[in-house]
Structure 1
Amino acid sequence: MSKNRFDLDPERLATTDEHGNRVYIYPEDVKGKWKDRRTKVYWALIFFYLVLPWIYINEKPALMLNIAKREFSFFGQTLYGVEPILIFLIFISGLFFIAFMTSVFGRVWCGWGCPQTVFIQSIFLKIEALIEGKARARLALEQAPWSITKVLKRVTKWILFTLVSLHIAHTFVGYFVGPRELFLMTTQAPTEHYGVFIAVMILSTIFLLDFGWFREQFCIIACPYGRIQSVMMDENSKVVAYDYNRGEPRKGVSNEKQGDCVTCYQCVKVCPTGIDIRRGTQMECIACTQCIDACDSIMKRLKKPTGLIRYTNEIELKNEAKKKNIRPYFYITISFIFVAAFIYYLNASTKPQLIFLRGIGAPFLASESTITNKFTLKIKHQGSEHYPVTIELSNPQLRESIGIQTSENPIMLNKAEKKIFIFFKFNSNILKSGTIAVKLNLKDTRTGNIVSTKEVTLVGPMD
């Protein structure tokens, strides 16, 4: 076996030794066009994550899901008493969209959009390199005995890690309580907001340990996406792959005419999960493209064509004809269906919903001349606009026969749920077999527009 530590054992993970102990990965930095592209995407995502909660539209955050108050703000649209189906629809839509991206581009989410990769590559590794030096210096520091210098560097690094983790956690919680409210909470004693304080501390600890210590182990061991990716990928999927047709036989492996691979191990040295991409598509690969830039830099030095490691697929590597693949179309169609359902329910939720609950006891009260039906009316109003409404019968011919009295008139629609008492008084001669179904309109008194309609059954004595 090669004595080169980058010549990995095929029988175990690169992050474990022969005794099963963890081997810490110190990936070397790399420069190249793919690194530049990813850096731009990473910082755009970080900017979006940090700034979005502070963008207010109609006095509400652009995106907020306040679970305690059951309040959902979505780019100017605010819903109260949020229905779980809305969260379900957008969540399932997101899953199918990621499945679509995976079927077409492999684990592009892992390498380009996952918060695990984004924060580690853009912030935590940068801090580590600033304090402890480049990859080889960090490895040497890890292997060195404890000293004052080592303690100072480690303490400084973890203090900065903690500050960054606290900021990430506070921003995350801001999506659920609102950033302005959260800022006010931070100026008060933790005992006044126990729930939020504990949530921030737990999240900060998780982010600190994950981004600062656990790192690639999460991708390899804990993340379920890494396990199920093979179900969504096939030979048509674009992946970061080594062109074995051009690279083999590699230098030092065979005495035959050598391919373009010179066994420099640069692709291994820069890999954040420590794999050798030349062994084919592997579960640990997160498609971060570090190996592409590393290999291209070597090819340029050797004056050979770049692309020995590149975005490709199995069909292209095998020089086979392209095959029809309906899987991505299926995934994206399902995703759009759920998005359409989300938009439909979102629009429907802004309209007031009427719920009539018949009064406790006798279903009606009868006197000599009139019959009275009593209801409790619940008006669920999830929109952000407050306005007065009145209730009237939709059939003008019945308005003279049926009188309506409410405990509040006009009714002011506020957020969440409104509850009022409503009485219907009518003569028994309008009943058929002791009942009559009537439609009621909820009318905006400002404009006269009908904002909601509901049918209710009135009852009386049988003929």
Structure 2
Amino acid sequence: MSTGSKKPNLASVTTVNKDGSHYRLHPADVKGRFTLARRLVAALCLIVYVALPWIKINGYPAVFLDTAMRRFHIFGVTLAIQDMWVLFFVITGLGFTLFFITSLMGRIWCGWTCPYTVFLEHVYRRIERWIDGDATARRKLDAEPWSGTKIAKRILKHGLFLIISCLIAHVLVSYFMSLEGLYAAIQTGPGDHIFSFGVIIFFTVVLYGCFAFFREQFCIMMCPYGRLQSALSDDDTMIIGYDFQRGDPPGKPKDPDAGDCIDCRRCVQVCPTGIDIRNGLQLECIGCANCIDACDDIMKKLQRPTGLVRYDSYNGLHGKRNRILRPRLFMYFALMLVGLSVLTFTVSKKARPFTAQITKMKGIAYQQDDTGIRNVLRIYLFNKRAVDASYSFRVENAPEWLKVSGSTDDLKLKPLGETTYTLVVIAPEENYDGPFDFTLIVEDQGGATVQQQVNFLGPNPRLYRKRLDEAKATGTNN
């Protein structure tokens, strides 16, 4: 593991040595308007990540993926396992939203709101800076031989890393177990919840390994989003770039032939992925804006205009007109609207406090006897509420002579309870005159309803009447 100085280049990844080992980065701390904004956004993200399992909506956590019961509660909407096709629209809607944002603003997601970046930059590296000191002190400590002070700092730092990783693992598991279930599991021995205990240990080890050692390598090597960046962006995408027309050639502050860049390498020192932004847009850049604050600070000290490194498009950095509205943006926006619109429509249908699915009995379209024509309906009910609920059935838009066999009220279900109920609908023989439609309505005690049009099936009315007449003539029943 190399700790010496290394100059970034475009031929290889800075964080990987020639022998394939990890070149450990020690990004310097930086202050500025973007750093402050990122910390405020990160604080909000951390609150949201941790608070979602605590916030109750309709009696369940805001996000509760109850894999044990195969029920998924997402912001008040409860989905059963058979509703998982909705995830297609969730993924497509969010995917094209990310494409749209990337085409417009580059990798702002990575640098500002990605959970991995938030935890690494605003939790783990803050702890490291607090214990080991600034970048210079950390590099010096790495190069020092083992001593009592170094061992103590390593134990304290990695001990805190393990504790934080374990806490994050518990928060992650609470999305699947609920806080009540997680707390109950913690109070008992690991043997009573061996699977949950194993999952927490697994995630603790993975998180600790990533944030303590792997770090920025995850973003560079494993995250597919960085690989898509070049395909999603164009010359008008807002990125972080270096104004080479103003900055080149780099030189000393008093050199009249030099540009505004003094080659202080401050932008390189603060970069969390170890690149030199002056080499242009690169795979490793996560759009964190550390280099902007670092360069602006130097420019202010030199009493020169800020913005040598700034948010701008490739065209803007080359003095060309920047187009915001362009074909790929419209395409991504249209696809985003399609995905989100279908998702919104689907979720609005699934947002009812219960599910009712009405089907015909399999294998038997209808039955007939001397009383008339019978259709058997199977009604699947699922109570999404966290309290007991009762249901009733009624028919509308049906002939007055239509009969419904079976109790149609006071059907009760426990929280998350489900059942299949059978209704028999009868058309008397003297009234039946062919197939017809009617509406079956299922209603709960709160007034929420699910209605479905049902097609009453039966034999050909002419042949049916003929058989009835023949049966009456012979005195037999068919």
TM-score normalized by the length of structure 1: 0.89
Contact 1:72 1:82 in 2 (8 A): no
For 2:319, the aligned partner's letter is N
CA distance in 2, matches of 1:144, 1:91: 49
Partner in structure 2 of residue 153 of structure 1: 153
More displaced stretch, 330-339 vs 403-412: 403-412
CA distance in 1, matches of 2:381, 2:9: 67
Q: Deviations over 1:312-336 (max 9, x none)?
A: 1111122123345132233233223
Shift of 1:43: 0.7
The secondary structure found in structure 1 opposite 2:85 is: helix
Q: Percent identity between the aligned chains?
A: 32
CA distance 1:423–1:34, change in 2 (3 Å): same
Contact 2:377 2:424 in 1 (8 A): yes
Partner in structure 2 of residue 354 of structure 1: 357
Q: Deviations over 1:111-151 (max 9, x none)?
A: 10111111111110111112222212211222222333322
The RMSD of aligned alpha carbons is 2.6
CA distance in 1, matches of 2:178, 2:333: 32
Matches within 5 A, 1:403-414: 403-406=403-406, 409-412=409-412
More displaced stretch, 341-350 vs 114-123: 341-350
CA distance in 1, matches of 2:251, 2:427: 97
CA distance 1:363–1:455, change in 2 (3 Å): closer
Shift of 1:56: 1.4
Partner in structure 2 of residue 395 of structure 1: 397
The secondary structure found in structure 2 opposite 1:389 is: strand
Within the alignment, does 1:199 sit opposite 2:202 as a pair? no
Contact 1:15 1:22 in 2 (8 A): yes
Partner in structure 2 of residue 53 of structure 1: 53
The secondary structure found in structure 2 opposite 1:53 is: coil
Partner in structure 1 of residue 452 of structure 2: 453
Partner in structure 1 of residue 300 of structure 2: 300
Q: Deviations over 1:68-109 (max 9, x none)?
A: 323233333444456113222222222211111111111111
More displaced stretch, 166-175 vs 61-70: 61-70
Matches within 5 A, 1:5-404: 5-81=5-81, 83-251=83-251, 257-323=257-323, 324-351=325-352, 352-358=355-361, 363-364=366-367, 366=369, 368-380=370-382, 382=384, 387-396=389-398, 398-400=399-401, 402-404=402-404
CA distance 1:152–1:82, change in 2 (3 Å): farther
CA distance 1:449–1:183, change in 2 (3 Å): closer
Partner in structure 2 of residue 441 of structure 1: 440
CA distance 1:251–1:445, change in 2 (3 Å): closer
CA distance 1:23–1:345, change in 2 (3 Å): same
Q: Deviations over 1:190-210 (max 9, x none)?
A: 222233222222222221111
CA distance in 2, matches of 1:340, 1:360: 37
Contact 1:70 1:82 in 2 (8 A): no
Contact 1:6 1:265 in 2 (8 A): no
Shift of 1:306: 1.3
Contact 1:315 1:321 in 2 (8 A): yes
The secondary structure found in structure 2 opposite 1:22 is: coil
For 1:441, the aligned partner's letter is L
Contact 2:239 2:287 in 1 (8 A): yes
For 1:100, the aligned partner's letter is F
More displaced stretch, 374-383 vs 259-268: 374-383
Contact 1:389 1:442 in 2 (8 A): no
Shift of 1:173: 1.7
For 1:294, the aligned partner's letter is A
Contact 1:438 1:457 in 2 (8 A): yes
CA distance 1:455–1:363, change in 2 (3 Å): closer
The secondary structure found in structure 2 opposite 1:240 is: strand
CA distance in 1, matches of 2:445, 2:51: 37
Contact 1:353 1:381 in 2 (8 A): no
Contact 2:356 2:450 in 1 (8 A): no
CA distance in 1, matches of 2:384, 2:58: 15
The secondary structure found in structure 2 opposite 1:459 is: coil
CA distance 1:146–1:446, change in 2 (3 Å): closer
For 1:388, the aligned partner's letter is S
TM-score normalized by the length of structure 2: 0.87
Give 5+ residue unaligned stretches, structure 2: 465-478
Contact 1:406 1:420 in 2 (8 A): no
CA distance 1:426–1:156, change in 2 (3 Å): same
For 1:283, the aligned partner's letter is L
For 1:295, the aligned partner's letter is C
Contact 1:15 1:273 in 2 (8 A): yes
Shift of 1:220: 1.2
The secondary structure found in structure 1 opposite 2:285 is: coil
The secondary structure found in structure 2 opposite 1:45 is: helix
Q: Deviations over 1:37-72 (max 9, x none)?
A: 111111111111111221113322122222332323
The secondary structure found in structure 1 opposite 2:263 is: coil
CA distance in 1, matches of 2:357, 2:24: 60
For 1:379, the aligned partner's letter is L
Give 5+ residue unaligned stretches, structure 1: none
CA distance 1:409–1:200, change in 2 (3 Å): same
Q: Deviations over 1:225-246 (max 9, x none)?
A: 1111111101111111111011
More displaced stretch, 320-329 vs 54-63: 320-329
